[in-house]
Amino acid sequence: MKESYVDLINIRRKVFVEIAKMAYEDTDLNELEKAAYNIIPGEVAKYRENIFRERAVVEERLRLTMGLNVRSMSEFTRVTEGIDEVNVDETKFIPDLVNVITFACEACPTRALKVTDNCRKCLAHPCTNVCPVNAVSIGKDRAIIDQDKCIKCGRCKEACPYSAIVEYQRPCAAVCGVNAIESDHLGRAKINQEKCVSCGRCIIQCPFGAIADKSQIYQLVKALKTKKNMYAMIAPSFIGQFGALTTPEQIVEGIKRLGFKDVVEVSLGADITTLHEAKEFLQKVPNEIPFMGTSCCNSWALMVKNKFPEQYEYISDSASPMVETAKYIKKNDPDAIITFIGPCISKKLEALREDVKDFVHFVITFEELMGMFVAKNIELSEIEISKEIQDASTLGRGYSVAGGVAEAVKKTAQLLDPSREINVESASNLADCVKLMFQAKAGRKNGYLLEGMACPGGCIAGPGTLASTTRVKKAVEEFKNKAPYKTPLDNELIDDELKNK
Amino acid sequence: MKVKVCMGSNCTLLGAMNLLDQIESLRELIEENSLEYKDEELEIESIKCLGYCKTTDANIAPVVIVDEDVIFNATGQIVMEKIMDKMRI
């Protein structure tokens, strides 16, 4: 989340509330035609140049939240077009997950170096002198960069003593670590779905709110109303997300009041993943594979699969904490219908995988969950509950902060085999993950455990969060220390068989 | 001076925690230039839902209270300006 984008965040979340309310109240879906008027009331534009466009963008957000595609602007289509297909009580995924709302996109220019009016046309003009392709000349008012010649090396910018040259970049493309943002025929952002790994960074960085992912909250609420065996599992970064006064126990109880039978910490699955990965590492590295990558971040794993297909087998075979937690729930209740609640949108794709779809049935974000709480009038901080949450170890609860996964696997592996030295290296944004993989591919990370995460700082910085990373990091630390077990090897909920060497 | 930030569900949804972060960040600004500000503690408290939004259909979240002054639809810039003005000597 980008906290300073206040208006954008609020519009996004109001849409979640609106859709969750419609689902809880069994509203006739034809009312979707009016919903944008609830979110953007009145007749004066507040966010864009006119209120019609504001509402039109909100209508696309309503559609995406329902799980539908963005409409084409070149032909008449109702807001409710295709609604029957998604008016169901099970996940209905219509590709793609991450979408550009084309008419919300302002077609920002692509990356370029620009001279601002800070330029004083100085005598030294180092900008011209350092340019390797002779693209900078001194014009009448200021230096001029010939954009056809410029190779965007940035040397002029570095050399200018007045900070007069800026590097300009589309915010969506700037944060995309896999260069998946391209342009359509009108210069608007277009996502190359072959390259996109659905990390969601462009969604939160676009200052015009032109990119959004699809949600499953409507179908989830419908399922909660009709089905009995609904379970939720909540990712380790949930601590501190739902208000400064709300305790982890109140969050869990609040989720139950939404209609879930029980809630399990995904940190329990993290403990199980840790044990699998620790054993796998001890067994395979360095004899079978030169290094091992962690498997819990879906965007990281997808990136390796797309960009480094030959090294993809070096990513751990262990299932992610989400999947392990779901398997644990399924073992106790084979009819369980399971919802993953996390900071992540990439998990929405992971849950559709052939080997995962029978375990994880819905995926929503913390933001979407908050929308459900508000729709259902649940005041979390007023819930009275004394029962403590005791599913996971300190190490499992640390998974959400960058470095936490590798630390857990390393410590556990060393408990299993104290003689082993284990080197770890972590990267926590996709661009750095790509760099790390290039080094690994070149053989410079042999013997290493590589932790890759797509979000800067780990899952606590995921696109579906509500609280700042500083706030959550502190809260996670406190919650870690309250864990009933120190390491996964102590966790009594896990089969002893898995703990043996 | 006492600032209360409502942490009800509606306020939390619409950015109450960010407001809290922003208000807390003022302490640092005040400390850095302590001579320009009153020697008065900036007390910041998260409070449970006061129920304002439940009594009206209007959208009023988030709610922040600066001393006795109740601010509806609180934004960072309005709340921070108010606090800084009151703290300045």
Domain boundaries, given as residue ranges, for chain B? 2-87
Residue A233 and residue A256 in one domain: yes
Residue A16 and residue A90 in one domain: yes
The fold of B2-87 is Glutaredoxin (3.40.30)
pLDDT above 90 (res B72)? yes
Report helix angle A430-441 to A298-307, nearest 10.
50
* pLDDT, mean of residues A162-167: 97
Nearest to A347 by CA among A204, A180, A463: A463
Residue A363 and residue A287 in one domain: yes
Q: To the nearest whole percent, how much of chain A has pLDDT over 70?
A: 100
Residue A291 and residue A376 in one domain: yes
Residue A452 and residue A372 in one domain: yes
Would you place residue B47 in the very low, low, confident or very high pLDDT band (cuts 50, 70, 90)?
Answer: very high
All residues of chain A having their beta carbon less than 8 Å from the beta carbon of residue B9 are: 243, 370, 373-374, 377-380
Distance from CA of B14 to the nearest CA of A (A): 5
Write down the pLDDT at residue B43.
96
pLDDT above 90 (res A54)? yes
* DSSP state for residue A292 in the 8-state scheme: E
All residues of chain B having their beta carbon less than 8 Å from the beta carbon of residue A381 are: 7-8, 48-49
Distance in angstroms (rounded) separating the CA atoms of residues A239 and A399: 12
Is A466 close to B76, i.e. CB distance below 8 A? no
* Residues A386-434: tens digit of each pLDDT: 889 999 999 999 999 999 999 999 999 999 999 999 999 999 999 999 9
Across the beta sheet with B64-66, the strand order is: B43-47, B2-6, B64-66, B69-71
Domains: count for chain A = 3
Domain with A240 in it: what CATH number?
3.40.950.10
Is A13 close to B8, i.e. CB distance below 8 A? no
Could you tell me the two tokens for A428? 């926590």
Residue A290 and residue A364 in one domain: yes
Q: To the nearest whole percent, how much of chain A has pLDDT over 90?
A: 98
Domain range for A433 is 227-499
Using a cut of 0.90, tell me whether the model's pTM lies above it. Answer: yes
Domain with A137 in it: what CATH number?
3.30.70.20
Contact assessment for residue A67 and residue A218, using Cβ atoms and an 8 Å cutoff: yes
ipTM of the complex: 0.95
On whether any CB of chain A is under 8 Å from the CB of B25, the answer is no
Contact assessment for residue A342 and residue A322, using Cβ atoms and an 8 Å cutoff: yes
Residue A306 and residue A396 in one domain: yes
On whether any CB of chain A is under 8 Å from the CB of B60, the answer is no
